[in-house]
Amino acid sequence: MSNYKPYPAYKDSGVEWLERVPEHWDTQRIRSLIDSAQNGIWGDDPDGGVDDIPCARVADFDRNNFTVKGELPTLRKVPEAQRLSRQVNPGDLLIEKSGGGEQTTVGVVVQYQGVEPVICSNFVAVVKPKKGVFPRWLCYTNAHLYSVGVNVRSIKQTTGIQNIDSDQYFSERVAVPPESERQAISAHLDRETARIDALIEKKTRFIELLREKRQALITHAVTKGLDPSVKMKDSGVEWLGAVPEHWGVKPLKLLVKEGSTISYGIVQPGEPLDEGVPFVQTTNMSSGDFEIESLQKTTPEIAAGFPRSRLTGGEVILGIRASIGAAFVVPMHLAGVNLSRGVARIDCSSQLSSHFFVAYLSSMAVDGYWQLAKQGSTFNEVSIATVKELLVPVPPREEQAEIEEMLSNATARLNSIFKKTERSIELLKERRSALITAAVTGQIDLREAV
């Protein structure tokens, strides 16, 4: 914020969380800045009738840009009288009245910037700012309240879902600049946040390209090898393509350790326990978090019924439900841990390195196999029989080691770039939030900003 100047003089706002405001600014309750706040409406699915009308829902909120997303779904059987009292016109604000979740709290405010009037759903209220209250400025002001958690003290949760108490929330006091400054603040924030968002989008796309590059690198290495001059042969499988002539291609069921079998884990682990036998489930496979304290626990008696999925360390675990295809070499600290129904244990024979096999499982070739296997299934899962029939290219062990080393070095470099880029995105988001806060609370003077 070093390129911005503060106002010449400040005064105590009298609001604990707001502290000082510019001397010529006022503080007012939100309710004094709005004409009305009308709850949305229930409606049925559209049927193409004359009463169908587009409807803005919480799911249509763009929480990053404080707007409503593109094309809206429609509702039917909404009588005209009810529509008019809940009509959302371009520029009106929408507040999330009910919703929230584990990661978010209810109460976010967005602005409808569409062209045609719509209505809002029952979990939303349409807020009409008073004449002279610039709607975009009021939207940014509410965004600041949400970012610092002022909305939290107005949340009621007596029915298992978060609900915002409108009367209490609209009683909150905010900093109010003169009308001419509200428009200047809004215009500056629109311009600067658009610049920041463009940078975030560019960096996000860069990360996507890096992921594509990493997967292409892995796929080529585990299916074609490292020597571009090597003779190739047809694998006989469309999704695998040609492989080096001296490599073998075998179904996975022939590449597991003798006396071992590919099996999934505990079918019904019961209620989560504070003490007991930890087990890896699909959420761990998705997040890659295998710290013991993050694992759910079951009773020793239940775990004892699934000895084939008890981990020893060094084998491969594979997501077969929800997180299909996620695969890891089991770290040694998981010895004695079990698995859930959605995770399979694979103990590779001496022909196949666990690390090479995990790299292969993350390739685009295997992803194509899973997609084919899931066709016609009503569940997002693959069977153990399907896993056993997976065809695996098998280079000589020394070549597997060379591929592992190359991929380890290359992916380490790419992962380092990932982290730096992700951190730069986080900093941009922090700057965006800080800029909005500074502008709507008067920490910076934008009257002459360009």
**CATH code where residue 419 lies:** 1.10.287
Q: Is residue 216 part of a domain?
A: yes
Q: Which residues pair with 109 in a beta bridge?
A: 95
pLDDT at 104: 83
Tokens 């084919």 appear where? 372
Q: Coil, helix or strand for 266? A: strand
> What CATH number is attached to the domain comprising 359?
3.90.220.20
Q: Are 72 and 54 in contact (CB under 8 A)?
A: yes
Domain boundary among 378, 394, 410: 394
212 and 291 co-located in one domain: no
pLDDT at 51: 63
Q: Coil, helix or strand for 406? A: helix
Q: Of 354, 338, 346, give the one whose Cα is nearest residue 401.
A: 354
Q: Are 282 and 304 in contact (CB under 8 A)?
A: no
pLDDT at 160: 72
In whole angstroms, give the CA distance from residue 263 to residue 288.
Answer: 20
Q: Are 344 and 256 in contact (CB under 8 A)?
A: no
Q: Is residue 190 part of a domain?
A: yes
In whole angstroms, give the CA distance from residue 219 to residue 122.
Answer: 48
45 and 120 co-located in one domain: yes
The amino acid that residue 105 corresponds to is: T
Domain boundary among 160, 176, 192: 176
Give the strand pairing for 67-68 and 98-99.
Answer: unpaired
88 and 59 co-located in one domain: yes
In whole angstroms, give the CA distance from residue 216 to residue 364.
Answer: 7
pLDDT at 76: 59
263 and 363 co-located in one domain: yes
238 and 386 co-located in one domain: yes
278 and 327 co-located in one domain: yes
Q: Are 370 and 310 in contact (CB under 8 A)?
A: no
pLDDT at 50: 59
239 and 319 co-located in one domain: yes
Q: How many domains would you assign to the chain?
A: 3
235 and 374 co-located in one domain: yes
195 and 258 co-located in one domain: no
Q: Is residue 210 part of a domain?
A: yes
Q: Of 175, 106, 104, 172, give the one whose Cα is nearest residue 438.
A: 175
Q: Is residue 17 part of a domain?
A: no
In whole angstroms, give the CA distance from residue 263 to residue 267.
Answer: 12
355 and 417 co-located in one domain: no
| DSSP symbols for 249-260 | EEEGGGSBPTT-
pLDDT at 103: 74
Token pair for residue 49? 């009738």
233 and 198 co-located in one domain: no
275 and 323 co-located in one domain: yes
Angle between helices 364-374 and 179-224 (to 10 degrees): 100
pLDDT below 70 — which residues of the chain?
A: 1, 43-51, 74-78, 158-159, 375-379, 450
Domain boundary among 147, 176, 205: 176
pLDDT at 327: 96
Instruction: Please write the tens of the pLDDT for every residue from 230-248.
Output: 999 999 888 999 999 999 9
Q: Is residue 370 part of a domain?
A: yes
Q: pTM, whole model, 2 decimals?
A: 0.80
Which residues form the domain of 371? 229-394
Q: Is residue 9 part of a domain?
A: no
Q: Is residue 401 part of a domain?
A: yes
The amino acid that residue 203 corresponds to is: K
Q: Of 314, 398, 407, 416, give the one whose Cα is nearest residue 362.
A: 407
* Cα radius of gyration rounded to whole Å, the chain: 29
The amino acid that residue 420 corresponds to is: K
In whole angstroms, give the CA distance from residue 317 to residue 309.
Answer: 10
Percent helix, strand and coil across the chain, each to the nearest 5: 40, 20, 40
pLDDT at 421: 97
Q: Which residues pair with 53 in a beta bridge?
A: 75
269-293 in b/e form (b: 16+ CB < 10 A) is: beeeeeebbbbbbbebbeeeebeee
Residue 228 DSSP code: T
Token pair for residue 267? 């079918």
Name residues whose C-beta falls within 8 Å of residue 102's C-beta, 6 or more positions apart in sequence.
none
- Quick count: other Cβ atoms within 10 Å of Cβ 187? 15
In whole angstroms, give the CA distance from residue 235 to residue 252.
Answer: 15
Token pair for residue 404? 């592992």
Q: Is residue 5 part of a domain?
A: no
